[in-house]
Amino acid sequence: MAELESVGLFQGLNAGEWPSLRRMAQERQFATGREIFREGDPGDGVYVVRDGLVEIAHFADGKEHRVFSQLGPGEIFGEMAVIENLPRSATALAARDTRLYFIPRDEMLALLKRSPGLAFNLLSEISRRLRDFNQLHLREIIQAERLAVVGNFARSILHDLKNPLTVISLATEALDQPGLAPEKQAQSLNYIRNQVWHINEMIGDILEFTHGASIKSAFASVDYRQFINELLPELSADAEVKSVRIELQNQPPPVRLRLDVRRLRRVFFNLLHNAMEVMPGGGKISLRFQRGEKEVTTEMEDTGPGIAPEIAGRLFQPFATHGKAHGTGLGLSICKKTIEDHGGRMEAHSEPGRGAIFSFTLPIRRT
């Protein structure tokens, strides 16, 4: 139980002001579950919990009851509406049998004008409440964002696994047909191999994303021209399935770079598959290279619709997808991280009448 003399808010009062406070404080009782005031009611006074428990709550759409604060003996509530002379912004409920002190608005304001100590204590209490509320709100935002990320992650994975597994299932059924022609057998096996490869790549993306900065790279000195010329037939074979042609506009420079070949291969395949997704009717992908004094720049340009303005600012963020039927939304985020782990940088842009242009740099390390 908290008497008025023990309430921290009133510790700034001098001896001559206590009789006035005792006269103006009205004792009120509320049974468990009863409303003390409702959101939208006039701010007619300040409450102090003498004993019991009060919940400050919000009713979403007038139905769902959401508690965001609980107050026990010695704590005050309802002060903001009194100071601002505005309707109540929340509902106060007695969580159990509760006794309160009620101080009417006009008398509370008069007391505040007479007592600088009381005004300072009230200001400190309001500041503390705002900090507590901000921290609660921030925690809820972070939790909501985490849940949204998990939800996006789960939906993307389930969707992406379903597609290749469906293809594998159909190809397996075809292989089980008696008298299947050898070329059809080879085609079905090729479908299965490709889809297994795509699943492995997707798993690799997920593992790389979840490992974050802890992923280990296996760097080696590699001739960049040789690397590209060996990779190009594999890229072209993948692209031909979707009637996409890869054009080498100039030869890559014959310079040795420090590369993680496995991860850099995934950068090219991720960029290729992104381009193929936005060119369902086929198209062309142009590769070009430029050697500078300190770095090699690689550009990949497609003949698709370009980068949508609504996604341009978050293109490299995890789960950012637009206009794609498939994809975890992790590919570009991982591409950027891979290039940055190599000491380079990655960018993307569109120009009127042209498709998307992705470019990345790889540093030339002097030995």
- Give the whole-angstrom CA distance, residue 190 versus residue 169: 13
Residue 325: per-residue pLDDT: 45
Assign residue 61 the CATH number of its domain.
2.60.120.10
Residue 127's identity, in one-letter code, is: S
Final residue in a domain of this structure, among 197, 213, 229 = 213
Final residue in a domain of this structure, among 213, 245, 272 = 213
Residue 191, domain member (yes or no) = yes
Per-residue tens of pLDDT for the chain, all 367 residues:
678 888 888 887 888 888 888 888 999 999 999 999 988 888 888 999 999 999 988 776 555 567 778 888 988 888 877 777 788 888 999 999 999 999 998 888 888 888 777 777 777 777 676 666 656 555 655 566 655 655 655 655 655 566 567 778 877 887 878 888 888 888 778 778 777 776 776 676 666 666 554 456 688 999 999 999 999 988 888 788 788 999 999 999 999 999 999 889 889 988 998 888 888 889 999 999 999 999 999 999 999 888 877 666 667 766 555 445 444 456 788 888 889 989 999 998 887 778 899 999 999 986 5
Indicate the burial class of 257 (C-beta count within 10 angstroms; 0-12, 13-18, 19 or more).
buried
DSSP 262-330: HHHHHHHHHHHHHHHHT-TT-EEEEEEEEE-SSEEEEEEEESSS---HHHHTTTTSTT---S-SS--S-
Residue 280, domain member (yes or no) = yes
- Give the whole-angstrom CA distance, residue 27 versus residue 18: 16
Residue 139's identity, in one-letter code, is: R
Token look-up 């080879």 returns 186
Are residue 208 and residue 230 in the same domain, yes or no?
no
Token code pair at residue 160: 């992406």
Residue 123, domain member (yes or no) = no
In the chain, the number of structural domains is 3
Residue 264, domain member (yes or no) = yes
Residue 192, domain member (yes or no) = yes
Sign, CA torsion 45/48/51/53: positive
Pairing outcome for strands 54-60 and 64-71: antiparallel
Final residue in a domain of this structure, among 114, 132, 157 = 114
Are residue 268 and residue 331 in the same domain, yes or no?
yes
Sign, CA torsion 245/226/201/176: positive
Domain that holds residue 246: 217-363
What is the model's pTM? 0.50
Assign residue 209 the CATH number of its domain.
1.10.287
Are residue 193 and residue 94 in the same domain, yes or no?
no
Are residue 233 and residue 199 in the same domain, yes or no?
no
- Give the whole-angstrom CA distance, residue 86 versus residue 82: 7
Token look-up 């054009």 returns 247
Are residue 224 and residue 346 in the same domain, yes or no?
yes
Residue 33, domain member (yes or no) = yes
Token code pair at residue 295: 């770095």
Are residue 239 and residue 329 in the same domain, yes or no?
yes
- Give the whole-angstrom CA distance, residue 302 versus residue 320: 19
**Residue 249 CB neighbour total at 10 angstroms:** 10
Residue 347: per-residue pLDDT: 92
Residue 140, domain member (yes or no) = no
C-beta of residue 223 within 8 angstroms of C-beta of residue 253: no
User: For 51, which DSSP code?
Assistant: E
| Widest CA span in the chain | 106
Residues with Cβ within 8 Å of 184's Cβ and at least 6 positions away in sequence, in order, are 174
Are residue 202 and residue 280 in the same domain, yes or no?
no
- Give the whole-angstrom CA distance, residue 147 versus residue 342: 32
Are residue 174 and residue 223 in the same domain, yes or no?
no
Burial of 22-37, coded b for 16+ CB within 10 Å and e otherwise, reads eebbeeeebeeeeebb
Rg (CA), the chain: 33
Pairing outcome for strands 45-51 and 76-77: antiparallel
C-beta of residue 222 within 8 angstroms of C-beta of residue 257: yes
Pairing outcome for strands 98-104 and 26-30: antiparallel
Are residue 258 and residue 312 in the same domain, yes or no?
yes
Q: Would you mind telling me the total number of residues written for the chain in this entry?
A: 367
Q: Which residues are paired to 259 by β-bridges?
A: 220
- Give the whole-angstrom CA distance, residue 270 versus residue 46: 62
Of 295, 305, 230, nearest to 268 by C-alpha is 230
Q: Which residues are paired to 52 by β-bridges?
A: none
Are residue 252 and residue 162 in the same domain, yes or no?
no
Of 323, 298, 300, 302, nearest to 311 by C-alpha is 323
Assign residue 290 the CATH number of its domain.
3.30.565.10
Residue 127, domain member (yes or no) = no
Are residue 49 and residue 174 in the same domain, yes or no?
no
Are residue 186 and residue 225 in the same domain, yes or no?
no
